[in-house]
């Protein structure tokens, strides 16, 4: 669940085509807008001091304000970026889920992560940064990170810091079913199911909004949800966005325009879920002609 801490003649139109070519995103990551990048880079800076892993806070004009013990150490931007998740990110996603959700009932299993990334990875977004092998920062997902470019001599890797996983469902009344998935999903003979991802649906259901614990409180979750909502609005593939969350995160999701619809009937995980929804609409280019 989500938390700020989840034989036709022709096959159906794939979600990739509905996203307008995002199948190439693995090679061409979707970058944050200039304003989002600026906001996040201002929030996150790390010292190269091995004794300190706290983030560097910036003043209004963007200059770092180091403490006395840190002022002699060079800082290094994270240069965060977002892109759709793929199966190559599965192990990092599992580590992130385990770290982000203390209650095992609420985190996605490895099997569920594989299901989501196999069936609708284009609806799932990760926020990454690039780290060099000699960096003093060691996120939990570092061990499963992949090389940015295999030919890059410095060995830089792309490290997952936060992610959103999601599926599509038929309508707002069936979002509870989306948190389960068919047990035979990997079988070629798998029968259509009322559970999990529904390819022809028009409601995106956030399954997980997770950030590595050591990176919380720095605006990563806010940037991630904002970027995700903008991307889905632009794609025009859904009419609604929905999430089930605990009461302590209702106010947080309200900041993104989601409305609390009250307690859900879902007994998934630890229970006590609130249903929240928001309409999606393609963004209008203000420079376009009327």
pLDDT digits (tens, 9 = 90+) for 146-182: 998 776 788 899 999 999 999 999 877 777 777 777 7
Sign of the alpha-carbon torsion through 114, 118, 119, 120? positive
Domains of the chain as residue ranges with CATH: 15-67+75-279 (3.40.630.30)
**185-241 pLDDT tens trace:** 776 656 666 777 888 889 999 999 999 999 998 889 999 999 999 999 999 999 999
Between CA 267 and CA 34 the distance in angstroms is 41
More confident residue, 30 or 14: 30
Q: Would you say residue 6 has pLDDT above 50?
A: no
Question: Per the confidence metrics, is the pTM higher than 0.75?
Answer: no
Separation in Å, CA 79 to CA 43, 61, 100: 11, 18, 22
SS3 state of residue 277? strand
List CB contacts of 46: < 8 A, sequence separation 6 or more: 53, 55, 56, 75, 76, 78, 136, 137
Alpha-carbon gap, residue 3 to 250, rounded angstroms = 9
Contact 78, 38 (CB under 8 A): no
* pLDDT the model gives residue 209: 96
Distance of alpha carbon 181 from alpha carbon 193, whole angstroms: 8
pLDDT tens per residue across span 59-74: 333 333 333 333 222 2
E strands, 132-269, are 146-147, 157-169, 203-211, 240-245, 259-263
Q: How far apart are CA 179 and CA 206, in angstroms?
A: 9
Tens-place pLDDT, residues 77-135: 567 899 999 999 999 999 999 999 988 988 999 999 999 999 999 999 999 999 988 88
Radius of gyration of the chain (CA): 20
């Amino acid at each position: 669940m989500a938390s700020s801490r989840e034989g036709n003649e022709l096959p159906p139109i794939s979600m990739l085509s509905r996203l307008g070519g995002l199948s190439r995103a693995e090679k061409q990551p979707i970058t944050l807008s200039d304003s989002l990048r600026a906001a996040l880079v201002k929030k996150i800076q790390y010292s190269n001091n091995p004794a300190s892993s706290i983030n560097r806070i910036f003043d209004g004009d963007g200059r770092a304000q180091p403490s006395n013990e840190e002022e002699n150490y060079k800082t290094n931007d994270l240069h965060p970026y977002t892109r759709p998740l793929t199966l190559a990110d599965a192990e990092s996603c599992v580590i992130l889920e385990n770290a982000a959700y203390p209650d095992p009932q609420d985190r996605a299993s490895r099997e569920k992560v594989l299901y989501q990334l196999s069936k609708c990875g284009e609806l799932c977004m990760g926020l990454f940064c690039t780290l060099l092998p000699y960096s003093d920062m060691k996120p939990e997902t570092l061990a499963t990170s992949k090389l940015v470019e295999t030919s890059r001599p410095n060995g830089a890797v792309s490290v997952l810091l936060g992610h959103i996983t999601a599926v599509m469902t038929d309508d707002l009344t069936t979002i509870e079913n989306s948190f389960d998935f068919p047990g035979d999903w990997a079988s070629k003979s798998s029968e259509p199911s009322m559970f999990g991802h529904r390819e022809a649906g028009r409601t995106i259901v956030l399954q997980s909004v997770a950030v590595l614990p050591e990176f919380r409180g720095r605006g990563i979750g806010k940037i991630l949800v904002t970027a995700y909502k903008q991307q889905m609005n632009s794609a025009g593939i859904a009419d609604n966005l929905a999430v089930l969350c605990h009461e302590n995160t209702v106010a947080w999701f309200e900041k993104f325009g989601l409305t609390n619809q009250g307690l859900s009937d879902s007994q998934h995980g630890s229970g006590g879920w609130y249903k929240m929804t928001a309409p999606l609409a393609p963004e209008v280019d203000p420079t376009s002609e009327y």
